[in-house]
Amino acid sequence: QGCAQKYVVKNYFYYYLFKFSAALGEEIFYITFLPFIYWNIDHSVSRRMIIIWSIVMYIGQVSKDILKWPRPLSPPVVKLEMRTDAEYGMPSTHAMAATAISFSFLIATTNQYKYPFELGLVAAFVFSTLVCLSRLYTGMHTVLDVIGGALISAVLLVLLYPAWDTIDHLLLTSPFCPLLSIVVPLVLCYNYPKLDYYSPTRGDTTTILGAGAGATVGFWLNNQYAVPAYTSENFQLGFPLITSKMLVVMLARFFVGIFIVLLTRRLMKSVVLGMLGYRYKFPIGDLEARRRLEVEVPYKFITYSSVGFSATVLVPLLHGLLGLM
For 4-32, what is each residue's pLDDT tens digit? 567 777 778 888 888 888 888 888 888 88
Mean pLDDT of 90-107: 90
What's the total number of domains in the chain? 1
Mean pLDDT of 121-130: 91
141: helix, strand or coil:
coil
The verdict on residue 215 lying in a domain is yes
The verdict on residue 279 lying in a domain is no
218-251 exposure pattern, b = at least 16 Cβ within 10 A, e = fewer: bbbbbbeeeeebeeeeeeebeeeeeeeeeeebbe
Question: What is the number of other CB atoms lying within 10 angstroms of the CB of residue 95?
Answer: 29
> What is the separation, in whole angstroms, between the first and last Cα of the chain?
51
Mean pLDDT of 43-51: 88
Mean pLDDT of 289-301: 88
d(CA 259, CA 251): 12
Q: What does DSSP assign to residue 239?
A: G
Instruction: Exactly one of 43, 141, 169, 319 is catalytic; name it.
Output: 141
Q: Which of 177-181, 280-284, 292-296 has the largest mean confidence?
A: 177-181
The verdict on residue 54 lying in a domain is yes
Given this model, what pLDDT does residue 5 score? Answer: 61
Statement: residue 133 has pLDDT above 80: yes
Given this model, what pLDDT does residue 162 score? Answer: 86
Q: Among 36-40, 58-62, 126-130, 226-230, whose mean pLDDT is lowest?
A: 226-230
Instruction: Name the pLDDT band for 85 (thresholds 50, 70, 90).
Output: low
The verdict on residue 53 lying in a domain is yes
The answer to whether residue 94 is catalytic is yes
Q: Among 39-43, 158-162, 213-217, whose mean pLDDT is lowest?
A: 39-43
Q: Which amino acid is at 236?
A: Q
Q: Higher-confidence residue: 112 or 183?
A: 183
d(CA 202, CA 136): 23
Instruction: Name the pLDDT band for 69 (thresholds 50, 70, 90).
Output: confident
Among residues 22, 19, 21, the alpha carbon closest in space to that of 9 is found at 19
Is the model's pTM score more than 0.75?
yes
Q: Among 69-73, 96-100, 110-114, whose mean pLDDT is lowest?
A: 110-114
Instruction: Exactly one of 43, 94, 169, 319 is catalytic; name it.
Output: 94
Statement: residue 236 has pLDDT above 50: no
What would you report as the CA-atom Rg of the chain, rounded to the nearest whole angstrom? 20
The verdict on residue 84 lying in a domain is yes
Statement: residue 189 has pLDDT above 50: yes
d(CA 87, CA 170): 35
The answer to whether residue 169 is catalytic is no
The verdict on residue 136 lying in a domain is yes
The verdict on residue 186 lying in a domain is yes
Measured CA distances, 114 to 41, 106, 237, 238, 277 (Å): 13, 12, 6, 7, 52
Instruction: Name the pLDDT band for 233 (thresholds 50, 70, 90).
Output: very low
Domain housing 159: 12-241
Given this model, what pLDDT does residue 267 score? Answer: 94
The verdict on residue 152 lying in a domain is yes
